[in-house]
Structure 1
Amino acid sequence: MTAVRGFPAFPPQRAGARFATTWWGQAWIKALEDTSLDQTLLRKGRAYAKTGQVGPITVSPGRLAAITEHEYDTVVRVEQLTDAAWERFLDQVAAKAGHIAALLDRDVPHDLVEAAEDAAVPLLPTVGDLEPECSCPDWGHPCKHAAALCYQASWLLDGDPFVLLLLRGRGERELIDALQNRDLPPARSGAAPDAAPDAPAGGVPAAQAFALGEPPLPDPPPAETAFTPLALDPAPGVDVAALAVLAASAAGRAREILLRGRLEPLSEYQDRVRLAADHDLDLGLEPAVQAWRYGGAAGLDVLDTAWTPPRQDLARAQALLESGWDGEPPPHLETWRNRWTLGARQVRYGRDGRWYPFTEHDGHWWPSGPPERDPSTLLP
């Protein structure tokens, strides 16, 4: 039986309503707009979509259809995947349990789409993949009615990516049944070579695995777990000392994650500075190392970047500066963006809301201490 889904007409939307908010919905819009030969018709299509000029939408394999204003029959066709392409797609979905869970949670992982593309399975349309048809007299490609239908379809895709899969040829129930009946090979199911004798030879069906639910996580290890340096024997072509530093660095980062719950990702430059600061490495990054030791990534950003803080932040700092002199007028500062200078002393405002002290040496500014919220405590 051919899968068909019907959706009620969208009511008129507020003026500032957006169309696609998910990345796959935005890819659908991009395919439409890259295909269009007339920006005026696209603009009219957006207006029609927002003002409710499209009737109930019917989605079926390869076909998106609706009755638009003046009873025009409007259709947008999408090429369906072949049976062989579906088999390759199911291989990619079954290769990672998270893919199935994400789809059932109405999400489309980037890596699933990329893996499908590598297997020559185009899920998301690109320029020229959307074929509009309409009974109106407009020769546009697409006309404003087909454009409006496509824009509204992005709302359907945002809410349920299975709409896209149905357009490509198969509905949600059909896909889930195919995955439930699919035997996953041991390498994909995660079954060890010495699995229990009563385990199915081909692995565990996805539906059965998900029905087990999520087991409780073990208690976290103590945050103060001591790190034992690696004892490695020298080997040709292996820098044992560098490996020991990297292992200690990884252990330190893991400990921070245990304490804080998460860590912000670091750029390659930030990570080199962090390694030099944490392990006393001579990498020619002395000012950056000092900045890292005083303020981490925020301190390094203050060293390298000048930026313009919000006016209210600067006004608050000025008030703190004036109150720090007990009624006396504060010294005159040279101010430029986030940097306030008094002779050979300088304070720089960081994006973390703290002021960092610097001292001039041989024409260069060096970090000279930990940051403070009150800049008056850092100036003489």
Structure 2
Amino acid sequence: MSPRTRGRSSTRGYAVTRWGRAFVDVVEGARDGDADLRRITQARRYFRDHHAEAVRIVGGTVTASVRGSQLDPFDVTLTMRPVDPATVIALLRSRDAIGDLMALTRGDQPAALGALILPTESADIAADCTCPDSSTRCIHVLCVAYEVAAQIDRDATTLLTVMGTDTAELLASASDHATDVTSSVEPGEPAQRDEVPAVDFYGTNAVLPPLPSPPRLNPIMELDPAALRKALRASGIAPADIGEAVDLLDELYERLRDREEPNR
């Protein structure tokens, strides 16, 4: 066993699902050279070695203690810009995607719902840490973000709690909306679906929708985890070192991408 992995109980992973990866991408944000890459690499080691303790997710706030280089652990708080359940439901209905709520209860990570509740920019997540590092995303903040992503991977509904709501609240809002629509219909008339104003995209005064903001792609995380582990084992990497090998591949890809996109 490698000296760097001795004592680890198991190989840990995070951001192996689309929602988990999207959350991590926003927390990491735009990387500023080697300094940020070093923080990320160290934070991954902290995550694998269980440095984050007492992780608590309640109503749009994540708190945790992270053991660092000093005797006392550092306290980390992540505060999200909460989503509005009524707005989420209205937008799901307008996109004919209200079924995403049931898909979520089955353990899926539906695309339309994810686009509405996932954070999309660094300003959506305020971070605070008691460590002396003055950077926006220190090692301890990143470590806690990876813990959150791992929980989202295991249970998609965790993302709702992270963003200040839950499944019950969304279902209740959907029920209230349906009741309001039904009560507004005259007796004897069938209830009508919500109507979305049509936009003539090809008219003289065409109104175009805003361009989408596609998430950053990470081909390493898109690979089949089982196949990737099998390939790494075939190359001679010990089972206990597979998690670290995946992190190194991910870091190599980031360096290559940063070289291709110097102005990102």
Please tell me the TM-score bracket, short chain as reference: 0.5 to 0.7
SS state at 1:107 partner: coil
Q: Write the distance in 2 (CA, Å) between the matches of 1:161 and 1:184.
A: 28
Equivalent of 1:61, from 56, 59, 62?
59
Structure 2 residue 43 is matched with structure 1 residue 76:
no
Which residue identity lines up with residue 142 of structure 1 in the other structure?
A: R
Matched residue type, 1:18: G
Contact (CA 8 Å) 1:184, 1:202: kept in 2 or not?
Answer: no
Contact 2:54-2:65 within 8 A present in 1 as well: yes
After TM superposition, the score normalised by the length of structure 1 is 0.40
Question: Residues 13, 27 of structure 1: CA spacing in aligned structure 2 closer, same or farther, 3 A cutoff?
Answer: farther
SS in 2 for 1:161: coil
Is there any run of 5+ residues in structure 1 with no aligned partner, and where? 1-10, 117-121, 204-380
Give 1:45 shift.
0.8
**Partner residue in 2 for 1:27:** 22
Q: Specify the alignment match of 2:106 in structure 1.
A: 105
In structure 2, what is the Cα distance between the partners aligned to 1:133 and 1:112? 28
Q: How far apart in 2 are the matches of 1:101 and 1:49?
A: 32
| Superposition misfits of 4+ residues, deviation over 6 angstroms | none
After superposition, what is the alpha-carbon deviation per residue over 1:35-86, rounded to whole angstroms, capped at 9, x for unaligned?
A: 45421111111111110111121112331111121332111122123xxx43
Secondary structure at the aligned position of 1:181 is classed as: helix
RMSD, aligned α-carbons:
3.2
> CA 1:20–1:45 in structure 2 vs 1: closer, same or farther (change >3 Å)?
same
Q: Which letter does structure 1 place at the counterpart of 2:89?
A: L
**How far has the Cα of 1:12 moved from its partner?**
5.4
**How far apart, in 2, do the equivalents of 1:13 and 1:153 lie?**
20
1:173 aligns with 2:173: no
- Tell me the SS of whatever aligns to 2:112: helix
Aligned partners of 1:90, 1:151: CA distance in 2, in Å?
Answer: 28
Match of 1:40 in 2: 38
1:12, 1:52 within 8 Å by CA — same for their partners in 2? no
Larger radius of gyration: 1
Report deviation, 1:132: 1.8
1:99 Cα offset (Å): 1.1
Aligned with 1:146: secondary structure? helix
* Matched-pair identity in %: 21
Q: Relative CO higher for 1 or 2, CA cutoff 8 Å, sep ≥ 6?
A: 2
Across the two proteins, how many residue pairs are aligned to each other?
175
Instruction: Indicate yes or no: 2:148 matched with 1:156.
Output: no
Q: How does 1:125-204 map to 2 (within 5 A)?
A: 125-183=120-178, 201=191
SS across alignment from 1:183: helix
Shift of 1:91: 1.7
Matches of residues 1-380 of structure 1 in structure 2 within 5 Å?
14-15=10-11, 17-37=12-32, 38-69=36-67, 70-81=72-83, 85-94=84-93, 95-114=96-115, 116=116, 123-183=118-178, 201=191
What residue identity is the alignment partner of 1:24?
W
CA shift, 1:181, in A, is: 3.2
SS of 2:29's equivalent in the other structure is helix
Output the amino acid matched with 1:45.
Answer: A
Native 8 Å contact 1:13 1:52 kept in 2: no
Tell me, in whole angstroms, the C-alpha distance in 1 between the residues paired with 2:62 and 2:27: 13
